[in-house]
Structure 1
Amino acid sequence: MATIDQIMSSEAHTGRDRLALITETIAAHRKRDSDRVVFKTDTARVEYADRTITLDVSDGAQDRLNDVLASFPVFKIEQPATRKAPTGTVHVAAIADPKHIADFIERIFREVYQHGPGYELRA
């Protein structure tokens, strides 16, 4: 497995590679107990820290996020943290293994942020 420093400057362009990047980055983050991990594209950003996923959403994106959350019942919006956050910022409890978190984050980029199948993800 790569070190978190190697992973942190990585990018991926295919679904399979993106899932591997997310999974390895989160596993390394947990092992090293680092502060946070940021996954980003040119137009969107998702942060993972302490078993919480943080993302910014517009009204339309919030509806799409709710649809994705319906497919992943283990992930729940953290109401107190979200209410205290700036408008449009959502905190999602992510108490799951890195593989399931990777699946969820990939769906966020594909469905909530509406990126095509070949989008570039950086960690």
Structure 2
Amino acid sequence: MTRFDAATADGRRELFADAIRAHDERDSAFLTIEAAGNGANAGNDAGSGSESTPWVQFADGTLNLDCTDDELDRLKSLLDEFPSFTVDDLTTPEDVDGTNVRVVARTDDERVGEFVDRVFQRVYNRPDGYRAWVTVV
């Protein structure tokens, strides 16, 4: 991999698919993708501002992400559009607000890339031009 961020839909989806292939080739434990915040710096820097930075991890055909109750509702709605993706596990720790979601992806890398891009936009409400980073491969 020679690039680790992108800010257009096509660029992000290609980046995510390339990162999945690199993750598989390196046989790494997991892959982590982060998206910039919604504020004034949304296109400039991952983790800018005080809000938490949404992330998605991928390993062994499974996506892992944390969601608030509202985000979980939006994720379930999005999953209706992607029948090759199914919720495998929902974990809600007592001492934490939100739910950890594991989604199994039974499809190719490009479709996973498209789904992850849509997760950032629909579930985490990132704008069309948000910047995403592959932070761990």
Structure 2 length normalisation: TM-score?
Answer: 0.78
Question: By percentage of residues, which structure has more strand?
Answer: 2
Unpaired runs of 5+ residues, structure 1, are: none
The reply to whether residue 38 of structure 1 matches residue 32 of structure 2 is yes
Residues of 1 paired with 2:25 and 2:77: CA distance?
A: 31
| Identity over aligned pairs, percent | 32
Structure 1 length normalisation: TM-score?
Answer: 0.86
Unpaired runs of 5+ residues, structure 2, are: 36-46, 48-52
Residues of 2 paired with 1:48 and 1:37: CA distance?
A: 5
Residues of 2 paired with 1:34 and 1:59: CA distance?
A: 31
The aligned residue for residue 42 of structure 2 is none
Question: By percentage of residues, which structure has more helix?
Answer: 1
What does residue range 20-59 of structure 1 map to in structure 2 within 5 Å?
A: 20-41=14-35, 42=47, 43-59=53-69
What does residue range 1-123 of structure 1 map to in structure 2 within 5 Å?
A: 2=1, 6-7=2-3, 10-41=4-35, 42=47, 43-79=53-89, 82-83=90-91, 86=93, 87-123=98-134
Aligned residues: 114
Q: CA RMSD in A?
A: 1.4
Per-residue deviation, 1:30: 1.4
